[in-house]
Amino acid sequence: MSDKLTVKLPDGSERPLVKATFDISYSTKVSLDGMVLDVGIAHQMLLTYREWAAEEIDRLTTKLADWKAHQAHCPLAQQEAGEKE
């Protein structure tokens, strides 16, 4: 995490933390990958990762659907797919 308001994601990009309300009357610390963080910040990081992962799944699903549609109409792509099987 480069600063308090962003998190570095697995693809190398940085994204602002998802806003979240976390009401707790005492300070609780958690350890994530050796970093000791306030539980509220850790919660925001996990929400940010979840949002990013959902976007990546949508992007990859769309890319796969586009490729399959291309294969259905392109003889060269059909031939390449047949060679891989």
Question: Which pTM does this prediction carry?
Answer: 0.65
Per the structure, how many domains does the chain have?
1
CB neighbour burial string for 28-64, b if at least 16 within 10 angstroms, e if fewer: eeeeeeeeebeebbbbbbeebeeebeeeeeeeeeeee
pLDDT at res. 63: 96
Residue 75 covered by a domain? yes
Which residue range is the domain that position 26 belongs to? 6-84
pLDDT at res. 23: 67
Residue 1 covered by a domain? no
Q: Which of 60, 66, 64, 3 is nearest to 35 (CA)?
A: 3
- Helices 75-84, 39-73: inter-axial angle, 10-degree rounding: 110
Residue 24 covered by a domain? yes
Looking up tokens 């539980």, which residue turns up? 39
Average pLDDT over residues 19-34: 73
Residue 72 covered by a domain? yes
Q: Is the pLDDT of residue 22 over 90?
A: no
pLDDT at res. 2: 45
